[in-house]
Structure 1
Amino acid sequence: MSEAFDITETLDVKGASCPMPVVKTKSAIDDLAEGEVLEVVATDSGSMSDLKGWAAGTDGVELLEQVEDGDVYKHYVEKTA
């Protein structure tokens, strides 16, 4: 993992399936300040494409990195605005 950013908060959505990882990520990112980074830890393999698509279509967020670690998927989302 090339974690070259500081994680502000970690959101654990393990066990949740679509669309909950995205719904909970949106809610958590709304509580962060600009420039802060949210780490999302999920077990739903669909979260890889779901969060990527959500971030691409959402103003004010940037998906920095996604890491697959066995059965766990980690997503790093920065609030940019």
Structure 2
Amino acid sequence: MNETLLDVKGMNCPLPVLKANRALRAMTAGQRLRVLATDRAAVGDFHAFCRETGHPLLAWSEEAGVFSFVIRRRADEPEPKAS
């Protein structure tokens, strides 16, 4: 499956999550975003972000100080119907 790559290495909290949120808003439901970050705080930040927004965190890993997060864009909720 195609992924969009967002490299935020060297950026500190809250910029990685803010930039990921912006990227996800431009994507369609089901698309994947891979975020590369070096800020250790990003681990907790992305877990909380995904829990709060409903975008599934499919995977995360760390290698040589670089954290990789794979997030799937959630389906948008249908607009409530007016009564």
Question: Aligning the two structures, in what range does the TM-score lie when normalised by the shorter sequence?
Answer: 0.7 to 0.9
Matches within 5 A, 1:30-69: 30-59=25-54, 61-69=55-63
Contact kept, 8 Å, 1:11 with 1:39, in 2: the verdict is yes
Number of matched pairs: 75
RMSD, aligned CA: 0.9
Q: Identity of paired residues, percent?
A: 32
Q: If you compute each CA radius of gyration, which structure gives the higher value, 1 or 2?
A: 2
Could you say what secondary structure the match of 1:80 adopts?
coil
TM-score (norm 2): 0.86
Post-superposition Cα deviations, 1:6-56, rounded to whole Å, max 9, x if no partner, equal: 242000000000000000000000011111000000010110110110100
Runs of 4+, deviation exceeding 4 Å: none
Which stretches in structure 2 are left out of the alignment for 5+ residues? 76-83
TM-score (norm 1): 0.88
Which stretches in structure 1 are left out of the alignment for 5+ residues? 1-5
User: Which of 59, 64, 67 is the equivalent residue of 1:70?
Assistant: 64
